[in-house]
Structure 1
Amino acid sequence: MSDQAASDTAPHHRPVRSGDHVFLVDGSGYIFRAYHALPPLTRKSDGLPIGAVAGFCNMLWKLLREADDTAAGVKPTHLAVILDASGETFRSEIFPAYKAQRPPPPADLVPQFGLIREAVRAFNVACVEKTGFEADDLIATYARQAREAGADVTIVSSDKDLMQLVGPGVILLDTMKDRRLGPDEVVEKFGVPPEKVVDVQSLAGDSVDNVPGVPGIGIKTAAQLILEYGDLEGLLAQADGIKQKKRRENLIEFAEQARISRKLVELDQNTPLDEPIDALAVRGLKGEQLIAFLKAMEFNSLTRRVSEATSTDVAGVEPASVPIKGWPPEADPSAEAEKPAESTEKAGDSAPKADAVSARLPADVEPNTPAAVVAERQAAAVAAPVDTSAYETVRSLDRLDAWIAAAFDLGYVAVDTETTSLDAMQAELVGVSLSTGPGKACYIPLLHQTGTNDLLGGGLAPDQISQAEAIKRLKPLLEAPTVLKIAHNLKYDYLILARHGIHVAPFDDTMLLSYALDAGKGGQGMDELSERWLGHKPIPFKEVAGSGKSMLTFDQVPIDKASVYAAEDADVTFRLWRVLKPRLPADRVTTVYETLERPLLPVLARMEMRGISVDRQILSRLSGDFAQTMAALEAEIHELAGEKFNVGSPKQLGDILFGQMGLPGGKKTKTGAWATGADVLEDLAAQGHELPRRLLDWRQLSKLKSTYTDALPGFIHPETKRVHTSYSLAATTTGRLSSSDPNLQNIPVRTEEGRKIRTAFVAAPGHKLISADYSQIELRILAHVAEIPQLVQAFEDGIDIHAMTASEMFGVPVEGMDPMVRRRAKAINFGIIYGISAFGLSNQLSISRSEASDYIKRYFERFPGIRDYMEATKAYCREHGYVVTIFGRKAHYPEIGSSNPSMRAFMERAAINAPIQGSAADVIRRAMVRMEAALDAANVRADMLLQVHDELIFEVADDAVEAALPVISKVMEEAAEPAVRLRVPLKVDARAAQNWDEAH
């Protein structure tokens, strides 16, 4: 409010009358929401915690500025910030256990309570509290008095306990969400109008405040009962007539407990007031007074904003002297002195935005509740500065034992390994880092060398614990069921440690936590997450080990440099765990993490360790065959072009196609060269041009030769003689696994050449490979989620789905169907899932775009439910920013609202596909998680080796094949249950053979 609005001599008392508007700010709620909205901040000059004060001041300033804007709403005539006084209230006399389980406020918040009272006075706003009563009681009393005087009331809060006050002339204003809560919103929350809220709360109780209620009755049931019986006493009087036995018995047995609960939750509207309501009259802002306080707090940005709004010269105002109780704290002789975190002007003074707040904590967090405890954990992750000088290099067994003992005492520890290679199956373990809390981390060097990375080497650096002794000491900790191990991308460390006889459990993986929460919002790398959540940029690996040809392996890095880098990784990982883990229940993805992400990690690790055999001779022969075929294709291409040129050169190819041959559709790239990508060649081939078709064939062979037949022998492990691919759990938005080094998921299955490559993957002597493949799983998922009657019935009846689609679309009988017609239906069936366009379908079927467009149109006419599903999915994604699989996995597509039409269309297609592809991916994940236990229970030895999209590959002894096949099929076909009962059955094709191709 401007200084012109009220002079310094304006009275502080003015009777409340009809037409006035009284604003009552729930100050305690403001404090805790402010505290959790920003990372912990301290005053630069002396380390005083000021995060809550900064957030509170910004929120109050925003409220006052918006209230001063008559275009934005009604200006208050009376305004007060209502606070909770310390000490017990009258409710503790009624029920001694009331709020007894709430933890004390965070230590760094305690000294800020007094500062916030000073802040309210600096804003020249009435500040009210009363010993023995809660702030809610004061608000209830002021609201009653205001209404009796004919004034309207706005209660600035989102506290559910205040909803009982809502009614004619009284609303709640949630400033975080910019939402006004009236009677309709109360009904939405409680299922009853405001005057019945107390009765509902009396029955349902409140675990946060330790209000007992009646066992077995929640909000929904309580609302139904109160609506039926009128009020609490009416219900209790007729409880013996309730049909449900348990409910009837509980209402009779706990009737008095319900009455006590009512006394606890009902607000006292007759609280004796030390400050009459007339004293809450708006007083007007005093610029110099407020600026003096803000300067004392060192809130520079807010100081400038207040100066501009009040035309007050900042330079002429001296900082106020602010009394601070409880600061500095008494020194703890057992703790090392900590550096105060420096507050930054940007972070400390900028007003907290609702989206930033909600990213950390649900907006309706209340003081000392479990949600507040969660937020406190999150804040603690960034409270201590990342001080790499405080890390310890552990060089003795005594110090290692001390760190291990500390981890056992705490029950959790962050772990990271440092190695000589990214290949977990061949890397040497160089060192281990541990963290037991923010800023508390160490590095245990084991195999660092003294020399450089050359032929002469150098020898083991001094003062290191032997690798064998360290593993012996760490094994009990890393396998202890009472200690949670925390890591980022644990699968790598799991493999490294498993090779040394350590099987890590139990564990949390911060990469998987982030993936379950935010897939599609960005990368899941530790450095990226650290910058996003902690505001800290970790030391880059290249600063420690170099880059390019001069890059050192980690054992060649000096221990002092290695220690800082490695310990920081463990420290950051621990902090990320504190930030991310509490978000799981709030974001409703706990089940996704617990059932689809975490349990799959050791399963994949064991698969990677097993590897699969490949036949070098077959690969060598295929390389020769591919080379001959490529040479023949080159000769044919040269003949078609009329001259020789480098077939692998995009520039020369573009000049031939569009320069000399003058083929249509040529487009130049930014470099000035002709575009010759696969889409360009496919378009030309679809138009009937032979040269582009032959070029596509040549490129396909060239890729298969370089990627597989030439490269796979180089991936054969020198000791196991098998190929060990690496799976990534968090690389795709939809939950599909990806494979690398080598990538075994991109071997084409529908081409003759791809099938030939699969013949090189063979079973060990005396064994067979079993390929178990889901049949049309994505179409089955589509039939389920889109509820397409024809598809559901066809799958239930075991009908050929593509033939059925062709019959539906083209009116031809299934019997004796032309294979070409079925092929077109199949292309449309699968294409629809991926949002195929008329252009894409025309290329795939070699038909005109108009004909392809007619096919797609006819498809939607025959199956209208699919169009409805697609439109509903796009709408949901636009509203929420994500879509959800049938198992609750969220796939985020934040760019779906992009102004770029191409980007928007791409995101819409991805959003349509994600629930289908993601659900299919979740199904096979569930199968993989259950598979080993099912095989063990059936006493069948079958090693799961590979996962390739919808297919699992096993290696089984010859005499166990017949027993393994039904177990594998049953687990896969029932994988969705009991979480989801699909409308259509899942079907698995499983068979055994000597090589992968024959088994598929």
Structure 2
Amino acid sequence: MSDGFDKGHHLHLIDGSAFIFRAYHALPPLTRRSDGLPIGAVAGFCNMLWKYVQEAKGADAPTHVAVIFDHSSKTFRNEIYPLYKANRPELPEDLRPQFPLTREATRAFNIACIETEGYEADDIIATLSCRARDAGARVTIISSDKDLMQLVGDGVEMMDPIKGKSIGPDEVREKFGVGPERVVDVQALAGDSVDNVPGAPGIGIKTAAQLIGEYGDLEALLARAAEIKQPKRRQTLIENAEQIRISKRLVELDCATPLEVGADALSLRDPEPAALLEFLTRMEFRTLTNRVAERFDATPPPSPEVVPAPAGAASPAELPTIDRSLYVTIRDEAVLAEWLAEISEKGVVAIDTETTGLDEMQAGLVGLSLSTGPGRAAYLPLGHVDGAADLFGSGVRAAGQMPLERALALLKPVLEDPAVLKIGQNIKYDWKILARHGIRMAPLDDTMLLSYALNAGAHNHGMDELSELYLDHKPVPIKDLIGSGKGQIGFAEVAIDKAAEYAAEDAEVTWRLWNRFRPKLSPERVSTAYELLERPMVPVLAGMEMTGIRIDADHLKRMSNAFAQKMAGLEDEIHQLAGQPFNIGSPKQLGEILFEKMGLSGGKQGKTGAFSTSADVLEDLAAEGHDLPARVLDWRQLSKLKSTYTDALPTFVNPETGRVHTSYSIAGAQTGRLASTDPNLQNIPIRTEEGRRIREAFVAGPGMRLVSLDYSQIELRILAHVAAIPALQQAFRDGIDIHAMTASQMFGVPVEGMDPMIRRRAKAINFGVIYGISGFGLARNLRIPRAEAQAFIDTYFERFPEIRAYMERTVAEAKENGFVRTLFGRRINTPGINQSGPAAGGARRAAINAPIQGAAADIIRRAMIRMPAAIADLPANMLLQVHDELVFEVEEGAVDALIAAARGVMEGAADPAVRLDVPLVVDAGQGANWAEAH
């Protein structure tokens, strides 16, 4: 298969990963001035590509070229040998966010960029080399990687890009002691500590070359190993023959990698000046930008001076005190033009919108505040009304304001300018407000998310709290302007001069918080978490929220009526069991019935003297066989479903879109899990019939289907990885029923024909152990004696000692550092971990669970961030995220294409940041409503 190559072609294959690491280690750390993004490796990579482009000319110039990268996912070699590359150190914190940018850089240079899931870059290079060589073309591999030297031979050479030296058969023989055709045999014997290829213990390159030279090839050597005179060497080869053969499979490159790229796609092309200059300008590579512009006689995009965010940014004490008298009110085009010019010059602006309400999908824009630094803030009023002028309360437009549409038309170029960084506090709100007016702000920084990345779990991340904590400044309270209670007014009715002080202060405070937080990312080792998991979520979630989802209000009404009837029946039953009527919704009355009248055990009185009737208390009583608390639990569940969903959901339908638009909180949970509000769609029960029926009310539009993709047992998979549990890892790789396997390991029963009750117990322990379940908790879940439950847990830890080791290791880390980290670098603070008393147990369980639940949250975030690009060409939208599940709406004819694309993104979401030792598996379903799809 030649794929279009012929004898006149000369193919250059550039080892992209080698370029990246060489660039990273050769240059000092470098960050982008506008936002602190690490870019040192990208800068070096671009300089190397530019040098290559300049030199790839003349009589021996290539006709085809490609840069080859390692894909993010694991490769087939991990299936052969799970410990392959297990010794690789973690990627440097500041290198991870640069990998996607090197791919973008390659495309900006108009060079083919290739990577393939399940295969390494070396396999792709091998495949393309073999195809081109077999067609009679010449191949030059631009790399000094020893693993590629097995490809050298007729028509294939290597070129060391640093030394500028050609690597042919002689150079290979000098390094390995054998020709290229026997390099694999030598590597199989010698192994490779870097890639954790085992080889033959005690045999190095020199000895391996001697043995292969004497016996001809590896199989001949192993077949005749008994003839070797040295006893130790003979024993090593005989005992490790299978390990050596496995090692050969690991080091031998695959020349049949599935590639859908032909020669035409690899043709050498000059860079497109506009695209290349746009990328280089965005990266702020000024020197290279100027060189490229000069070479192509082109004008680069504007590269304004940008306010830097260097280490050692000004502290609050070093900045002047906030002075509201300095603020400007922008009332005409001339003043607005001056501010826009200043923003463009500085390249960074803090922005905040003032609106008529909190619902971004319906709120009107009242004004917009801007700040370019300490003491530089302004307010642009756009929708204030003079309420006193209108006896009917609607107000008339206050004087001294620019027309809304004209002001937004002037703002739009700057707010969408990729060279101007827009800073906000919870900027997703402002993004949606402006998006409804046709403005898509980018790039973005969010002080709430910066604080969250640095201090998750330490405190809340609202602006007022952050201002007092980090700036020692108390902002003007909103109630000072709009009042409270029945006399509260809307922000549009606030006098412009008062509104200006309040709003402009918010913008300046936001700028100052950014000035404090941004420089801390790298020293605190949270740059990767912020750049890969926090900041990119803003436009993704904003898009989902604005799309919304349809609901069937009639279905919900019928359910609400059915719930009411069922609750009435339960009320009668509960009153009969109690022997008297009482208010079931009153904890005080319920406690008196249970613990005074009925005399049930377990009653605990609080400070007020009332008995606790929490869900835990009622579940314990129900587990003891008491009917009344069991019926109260049923009544409470129906009551909550009715009030929270069947009654409330229709009230959230947007009259303009006819859809429900939930709002996601990115910084809500310290583990990185998203929360949703107005309405909350995260907590609809899925394991009950009523919960599933509520999901039936979420429906697809005409000609559309809902598609649900859900990670299978993701937290258990992460536990198997982080705790390094070989049995669980292998079970996941083999696709075995993990709960049945656990039961088999614990109770010594075969998987086939297993009693479902035994599997259920193993499942309860599997999931419970992630959350630090106690014997008491497991006893309640399984409704078995506490001693028996504790015995199950003890047996579990005996069978999987790695889990206890993980727990102890994680708690020790939390106690020493005051925080734990997820696999992706998310930092989760653990307050209370060093305390004693009852709170210590909860803090310990939280610390154990945080890296697992946090990693699961990180993985689905990475999938969501990549999803828009992956499904851009499909008639589909991502609508909802519910823990480990994503819900899409797609045209009926594109369901299969969407599932394939989305599943690929989700199952590969962990890489390249983390190479999991277990596969991620995603279950998919589709239907006319959410219940059918799940």
Please report the TM-score for the alignment, with normalisation by the length of structure 2: 0.67
- State the alpha-carbon separation in 2 of the partners of residues 634 and 816 from structure 1: 43
Superposition pairs of residues 77-156 of structure 1, within 5 angstroms: none
1:773 aligns to what? 710
2:615 and 2:350 mapped to 1: Cα distance? 46
Q: Distance in 2 between matches of 1:373 and 1:887?
A: 24
Instruction: Indicate which of 780, 783, 786 corresponds to 2:720.
Output: 783
**Contact 1:527/1:538 (CA < 8 Å) preserved in 2?**
yes
What is the CA-CA distance between 1:247 and the residue it aligns to?
A: 13
Tell me whether 1:378 sits opposite 2:314 in the alignment. Answer: yes
Aligned equivalents of 2:828 and 2:447: distance in 1? 18
Partner of 1:493: 430
- Residue 947 of structure 1 aligns to a residue whose secondary structure is strand
Cα contact 1:614–1:722 (8 A) shared by 2: yes
The corresponding residue for 2:897 is 963
Mean Cα deviation higher: 700-709 or 814-823: 814-823
Question: Cα offset for 1:376?
Answer: 4.5
Tell me the equivalent position of 2:341.
405
CA contact (8 A) 1:768 1:957 kept: yes
1:684 to 2:621 alignment: yes
1:463 is matched with 400
1:545-556 to structure 2, matched below 5 A, reads 545-556=482-493
Match of 1:439 among 375, 399, 406: 375
CA RMSD, Structure 1 to Structure 2 (Å): 2.0
Shift of 1:373: 8.6
Q: Please list the CA deviations of residues 402-448 of structure 1 after superposition, one character each: whole Å capped at 9, or x if unmatched.
A: 11110001111110000011110110000000001111101011110
Q: Does 1:951 align with 2:882?
A: no
Q: How far apart, CA to CA, are the structure 2 residues paired with 1:876 and 1:688?
A: 43
Matched with 2:113 is none
Indicate the residue corresponding to 2:671 in structure 1: 734
For residues 560 and 719 of structure 1, the distance between their equivalents in structure 2, rounded to whole angstroms, comes to 33
**Distance in 1 (alpha carbons) for counterparts of 2:312 and 2:817:** 27
- Letter matched to residue 542 of structure 1: K
Structure 1 Cα separation of the partners of residues 783 and 914 of structure 2: 40
Q: Distance in 1 between matches of 2:661 and 2:395?
A: 31
Contact 1:381-1:579 at 8 Å conserved across structures? no
Q: Distance in 2 between matches of 1:852 and 1:839?
A: 7
Q: Report how many aligned residue pairs link the two structures.
A: 636
Output the CA distance in 2 between the equivalents of 1:456 and 1:894. Answer: 49
Task: Map 1:824-843; keep pairs closer than 5 Å.
Answer: 824-843=761-780
**Does the aligned pair in 1 maintain the 2:475–2:505 contact within 8 Å?**
yes
Task: Report Cα offsets for 1:273-327 as digits up to 9, x if no partner.
Answer: xxxxxxxxxxxxxxxxxxxxxxxxxxxxxxxxxxxxxxxxxxxxxxxxxxxxxxx
Among 812, 836, 839, the alignment partner of 1:903 is 839
Q: Deviations 1:159-178 (Å, cap 9, x if unpaired)?
A: xxxxxxxxxxxxxxxxxxxx
| 3-state SS of paired residue (1:378) | coil
Which of 822, 846, 852 aligns to 1:885? It is 822
Residue aligned with 1:895, SS: coil
> 1:743 aligns to what?
680
Percent identical residues: 62
Alignment deviations for residues 104-158 of structure 1 (CA, whole Å, 9 cap, x no partner): xxxxxxxxxxxxxxxxxxxxxxxxxxxxxxxxxxxxxxxxxxxxxxxxxxxxxxx
SS in 2 for 1:764: coil
Q: Structure 1 residue 477 and structure 2 residue 414: aligned? A: yes
Residue from 523, 537, 552 that aligns with 1:600: 537
Q: Distance in 2 between matches of 1:691 and 1:871?
A: 42
Listed as ranges, the matches of 1:827-866 within 5 Å are 827-866=764-803
Aligned to 1:816: 753
Inter-partner Cα distance in structure 1 for 2:813 and 2:398: 59
Aligned equivalent of 1:289 = none
Aligned-partner SS, 1:586:
coil
CA offsets 1:468-510 (integer angstroms, 9 cap, x no match): 1110111011001111111110000000000000000011111
SS at match of 1:377: coil
Cα deviation for residue 883 of structure 1 reads 0.5
Q: 2:573 aligns with which of 614, 636, 652?
A: 636
Query: 1:521-574 CA deviation, whole Å, 9 max, x = no partner?
Result: 100111111111111011111111111222211101111111100000000000
C-alpha displacement at 1:700, in angstroms? 0.6
Counterpart residue identity of residue 392, structure 1: V
- Corresponding position: 1:802 with 2:802: no
Unaligned runs of 5+ in 1: 1-98, 102-244, 251-371
Distance 2:681 2:392 in 1: 35
Residue of structure 1 aligned with 2:808, choices 871, 878, 894: 871
SS at match of 1:896: coil
Match of 2:871 in 1: 935
Give ranges in structure 2 of 5+ residues lacking alignment.
1-27, 31-158, 165-307
**What pairs up with 1:574-613 in 2 under 5 angstroms?**
574-613=511-550
Instruction: State how 1:61-460 maps to structure 2 within 5 Å.
Output: 374=310, 376-379=312-315, 383-451=319-387, 455-460=392-397
Q: Which has the larger radius of gyration?
A: 1
Partners of 1:873 and 1:883 within 8 A in 2: yes
The 5-angstrom pairing of residues 6-85 of structure 1 reads: none
Matches of 1:766 and 1:932 in 2, distance apart? 21
Three-state SS of the structure 1 residue aligned to 2:521 is: helix
Cα shift readout 1:358-417 (whole Å, capped 9, x = no counterpart): xxxxxxxxxxxxxx9945423278511100111111111110111111000111111000
CA distance in 1, matches of 2:814, 2:602: 35
Say whether 1:996 aligns with 2:930: yes
The answer as to whether partners of 1:382 and 1:438 remain within 8 angstroms in 2 is no
Residue 116 (structure 1) aligns with = none
Q: CA deviation at 1:248?
A: 11
Answer yes or no: is the 8 Å Cα contact 1:380–1:438 preserved in 2.
no
Q: Does 1:718 align with 2:636?
A: no
Residues 248, 423 of structure 1: alpha-carbon distance in 2 compared, 3 angstrom cutoff: closer
Distance 1:941 1:418, change over 3 A: same
| Separation in 1, partners of 2:644, 2:162 | 71
Q: CA 1:805–1:676 in structure 2 vs 1: closer, same or farther (change >3 Å)?
A: same
- Partner Cα separation in structure 2 for residue 536 and residue 693 of structure 1: 52
> Partner amino acid for 1:879?
E
Structure 2 contact 595–601 (Cα < 8 Å) conserved: yes
Residue of structure 1 equivalent to 2:285: none
> Are the aligned partners of 1:519 and 1:733 in contact in 2 as well (CA < 8 Å)?
yes
Q: Is the 8 A contact 2:620 2:780 kept in 1?
A: yes
| Contact residue 450 and residue 458 of structure 1 kept, 8 A | yes
CA displacement 1:595-615 (0-9 Å, x = unmatched): 111111100000000000000
The question of whether the paired residues in 1 share the 8 Å contact of 2:312 and 2:519 is answered with no
SS in 1 for 2:397: coil
Cα distance in 1 for residues equivalent to 2:439 and 2:718: 40
Structure 1 CA distance, aligned partners of 2:309 and 2:367? 35
> Which secondary structure does the structure 2 equivalent of 1:433 belong to?
strand
User: 3-state DSSP class of the match of 1:617?
Assistant: helix
- SS in structure 2 at match of 1:897: coil
Cα distance in 1 for residues equivalent to 2:867 and 2:346: 34
Rate the CA distance shift 1:562–1:598 in 2: closer, same or farther, 3 A.
Answer: same
Are the counterparts in 2 of residues 762 and 996 from structure 1 also a CA contact under 8 Å?
yes
TM-score when normalising by structure 1: 0.62
| CA–CA separation in structure 2 for the residues paired with 1:381 and 1:576 | 13
The residue number in structure 2 matching 1:625 is: 562
Look up the match of 1:915: 851
Match of 2:476 among 528, 536, 539: 539
Q: Is the contact made by 1:393 and 1:443 (CA closer than 8 Å) also made in structure 2?
A: yes
Aligned residue for 1:606, secondary structure, equals: helix
Assess, with a 3 A threshold, how the Cα gap between structure 1 residues 411 and 814 changes in structure 2: closer, same or farther. same
Quote how far apart the aligned CAs of 1:941 are: 2.2
Code of the residue aligned with 2:888 in structure 1: it is F
Find the residue that maps to 2:314 and give its secondary structure. helix
The answer to whether structure 1 residue 530 and structure 2 residue 467 are counterparts is yes
Q: Residue 764 of structure 1 corresponds to which residue in structure 2? A: 701
